[in-house]
Amino acid sequence: MVGAWIVVLALISWWSIRNDPATVPEQRSIEQAMPSLREAAGVLLTAAENAAARGGPVPWAVRLGEVRSESCSLTPVRPGVQGSRDVVLYVPQGQAKAAFDQVAAALPGDFHASVLATRVATRLSFYADAGNFIAIDGEAQPDDQVLVLSAGTGCRPGTTAGGSDPAPGAAPAVLGETLAALGGPAGAAVTTEAVACPGGGTAATYQATAGRSGDGPRGVPAGVTPVWSQAGGWAYAQGPVFVVVDDNGENLRLSVTTTCGQ
């Protein structure tokens, strides 16, 4: 009887390991977590786009970041890997709280997104639960204009945050036009970050090195007002796409982002 009971317990454990949902992140490897991370980034980008569309008289801008992979420690003697991906939102000064609130409202209800003002309203904290132990968080001050929301896996067992983005499609004409206006080289190499949209299709950020650094925004179409403009660059919406130019003091880095709503 004891032997039979041991066999039954072993079979139950075997079935449970393969079929029951995980109860802690460490029960799913980084390789298993990456599809959920990419899906969460697509949902987050869509929410940021919806928030940008309601931003106000000066349209907000959005950019998708790359997938990052970093080493971490599951235990003092057991290494792991954590993956993350940013969605960056550019807003007018003083609108950080409103932007966080609008992104939270645009996320699905089961994400339970929340925004808290801490340290006597001098610090804003954003948090959402994307499911499968994928967290979305962000920190900002009320006057910040560049808001970084990051989806992350937490520390997981495994060796590499693998997987690949969906095919992004052809780059929008705005990319070439803006590159030329910024003095970028003809045929400049373009890198792409892309996510699947919750309703189908893809959204992507296309990036290329443009011309030399210079004073103030340039190459901005007539009638378009940058939502953010500082020594480090500028950002604006041009029709259905978002344009961000980063200035590192030597060269300009152009990013053009297409939306899920196009």
The answer to whether residues 126 and 222 belong to one domain is no
Instruction: Give the pLDDT confidence of 196-243 residue by residue, as tens digits.
Output: 999 999 999 999 999 888 777 888 999 999 999 998 999 999 989 999
DSSP helix/strand/coil, 213? coil
Provide the strand spans (E) within 130-260.
135-140, 146-152, 191-196, 202-212, 228-230, 233-238, 241-247, 251-257
Q: To the nearest whole percent, how much of the chain has pLDDT over 70?
A: 89
pLDDT value at 7 more than 90:
no
* Domain limits for position 142: 25-152
Average pLDDT over residues 12-38: 65
Report whether 57 contacts 194 (CB < 8 A): no
The answer to whether residues 124 and 179 belong to one domain is no
Residue 67 resides in a domain: yes
Burial of 170 (0-12, 13-18, 19+ CB in 10 A): exposed
Burial of 6 (0-12, 13-18, 19+ CB in 10 A): exposed
Tell which wins on pLDDT, 219 or 104.
Answer: 104
The answer to whether residues 35 and 137 belong to one domain is yes
The answer to whether residues 101 and 63 belong to one domain is yes
Average pLDDT over residues 246-251: 89
CATH of the domain at 75: 3.30.2030.30
